[in-house]
Amino acid sequence: MAQTEPCCPSLRIETALSRCAGIRAQLRAANLFAAPSLPPATGSAPTVQATASWRISPCPLLLTREQSEFFTALGPQLFSFSRALNRLYYESAKGVQPAWVARYLDQGKPEGLVNYSRMKRFRESLPAVIRPDVIPTQDGMVITELDSVPGGIGLTAAMSHAYADPPAHSSPLTPPRHALIGDRDGMVRGFASMLQSAQGRHSGSVAIVVSEEAKDYRPEMSWLAAQLREQGLPVWCVEPREIRFTEDGLYLRIEGEDQAVGLIYRFYELFDLPNIPKAELIHYAVKKDRVAVTPPYKPALEEKSAFALLHHPILRPYWEKELGTDCFLHLTAIMPRTWLLDPAPIPATATIPNLYLGGRAIANWADLAAATQKERHFVIKPSGFSELAWGSRGVSIGHDLPQSEWAAALQNALASFPTTPYLLQEFHKGRLFETEYMDEGTQTIVRMTGRARLSPYYFITGEKVELAGILATICPADKKILHGMKDAIMVPCAVATENAR
């Protein structure tokens, strides 16, 4: 796949600095970029002040037309995968597909939550937001995981606003160099359409419920809710304790008046339910059909072990039938081979499917513990349903660890299987990008070599899958785990225009 272009090489230094300062000011005014002395420009003061900061680039990350088409086509494919995974889980639970599939996806989950997720009227419910983490490599794009409760929605929307404005001091006759993926309002528009579709026949307001554990994301979701209210949609970002329960349904107290809630947008992880105030009341209201909820209470669909199921040879006929051969082959090419670290003994005549070290088949996890550093191009990480399964926590990179630490990480993963299953996944190294950012101290534009994680946001409205925007996180080249950090450059993605040359 063709590589991206360098970032805005034609901008003058003065223009680039002015543009960075303007973007920073706009994000600070939205309470999305750390600025303790600056309150939000509009609305009441939030309960949580933004603490995040990163390196600001004057321009979006430019993708080629081919790369843009890749991401546009990827959304419907991932939606098909989500639907096929949902069907596989239910058919496994009924014995139509291998029973071990449902057992693996339910491993470590409370029985009550599993039974709730299997209720007949929730059977066809799917996440309405899909966000893969995509790593551009020298050999093409690689998806490291999928997230159906993703952060960054409001941030990407606000960034799209900031970067859509023309560069400072540019002539109004100067044609743009790029077209933002999703355009200026794609994230807000797509999120709004998704909410309206998910709410269905339930009347009332939308409550974006953000847990205490996810409070760092509250500023961006508050900003997004405010944008939707400006469009006439009654959307509010609230803490769980602000939800009021009655026998008739759920309510919010807004400006001294009770507003019925028709949809809960769940911005909390299912493993965290015991720590969320009024979680059982929300649970009950959804069960009694007093309110809709998205993403659905389906922990099986939030497991990273889905990648292992896609690659399992026993399940290949199912995936080819449900996805179609072309989609199946494409997904297996861009989703790394993954294995569930199950400590159960393997029969003497068996091997772990498709796992090799130095060309030799592996039949025991202990062989993996003794692998050389060159052979350890693997990642160990929790599959899901754990506070360690998001935000790059709980991740161990094989070739980056001493032998003793790698063996200990593997042993810990195997021992954790009863409560928190872990995965082994192939490691794919991102290719290098050259980007620029504003150095706050010297007030200069600095060039940085880094590796990128691209996070496209897909919103589901009925059967329609919309690519609303892509957030790029470019980390310094020496960082092995790619995630938001103060040393990273974070920008929306755009497509280079014909007149950019």
pLDDT in tens, 373-424: 999 999 999 998 888 766 667 899 989 899 999 999 999 999 999 999 999 9
Looking at the fold, whether 219 and 273 belong to one and the same domain comes out as yes
Looking at the fold, whether 346 and 225 belong to one and the same domain comes out as no
pLDDT given at position 1? 39
Q: Is residue 349 part of a domain?
A: yes
Tokens of 426: 């192939």
Cα–Cα distance, 473 to 450 (Å, whole number): 9
Looking at the fold, whether 386 and 471 belong to one and the same domain comes out as no
5 pLDDT band, cuts 50/70/90, is: very low
Q: Is residue 314 part of a domain?
A: no
Looking at the fold, whether 262 and 347 belong to one and the same domain comes out as no
Q: Which domain holds residue 411?
A: 339-427
Say which CATH number the domain at 408 has.
3.30.1490
pLDDT given at position 4? 42
pLDDT given at position 93? 96
Task: Output the average pLDDT for the chain.
Answer: 90
Q: How many domains does the chain have?
A: 2
Over pLDDT 70: what percentage of the chain?
Answer: 91
Q: What is the pLDDT of residues 323-361, one digit of tens each?
A: 999 999 999 999 999 999 999 998 989 999 999 998 899
pTM of the model: 0.93
Q: Where is pLDDT greater, at 495 or 46?
A: 495
pLDDT at 41 over 70: no
pLDDT at 51 over 80: no
Q: Is residue 89 part of a domain?
A: no
Residues of 432-458 as b/e, b for ≥16 C-beta within 10 angstroms?
A: ebebbbbeeeeeebeebebbbbbbbbb
**Where a domain ends, among 377, 396, 427?**
427
Over pLDDT 90: what percentage of the chain?
Answer: 79
Q: Is residue 321 part of a domain?
A: no
171 pLDDT band, cuts 50/70/90, is: very low
Q: Is residue 87 part of a domain?
A: no
Q: Is 62 left (phi over 0), alpha (psi -120 to 50) or beta?
A: beta
Mean pLDDT (whole number) for 106-117: 95
Looking at the fold, whether 51 and 20 belong to one and the same domain comes out as yes
Q: Is residue 116 part of a domain?
A: no
pLDDT at 183 over 60: yes
Cα–Cα distance, 113 to 271 (Å, whole number): 10
Decide the pairing of beta strands 396-397 and 444-461: unpaired
pLDDT given at position 8? 60
Looking at the fold, whether 297 and 370 belong to one and the same domain comes out as no
pLDDT at 88 over 70: yes
Q: Is residue 115 part of a domain?
A: no
Cβ neighbour number for residue 295 with a 10 Å cutoff: 21
**Mean pLDDT lowest among 6-10, 310-314, 331-335, 339-343:** 6-10
Q: Is residue 105 part of a domain?
A: no
**Where a domain ends, among 410, 427, 444?**
427
Ranges assigned E (strand) in 308-462: 338-340, 356-357, 360-361, 378-382, 396-397, 422-426, 432-439, 444-461
Looking at the fold, whether 53 and 145 belong to one and the same domain comes out as yes
Q: What is the pLDDT of residues 475-495, one digit of tens each?
A: 998 887 777 788 999 999 999
177 pLDDT band, cuts 50/70/90, is: low
pLDDT at 140 over 90: yes
User: Which H or E element spans position 180?
Assistant: strand 178-180
Looking at the fold, whether 191 and 296 belong to one and the same domain comes out as yes
Looking at the fold, whether 381 and 471 belong to one and the same domain comes out as no
Looking at the fold, whether 288 and 225 belong to one and the same domain comes out as yes
pLDDT at 25 over 80: yes
**Where a domain ends, among 411, 427, 443?**
427
Looking at the fold, whether 157 and 30 belong to one and the same domain comes out as yes
pLDDT at 85 over 90: yes
Tokens of 15: 């223009």
pLDDT given at position 247? 87
Looking at the fold, whether 246 and 290 belong to one and the same domain comes out as yes
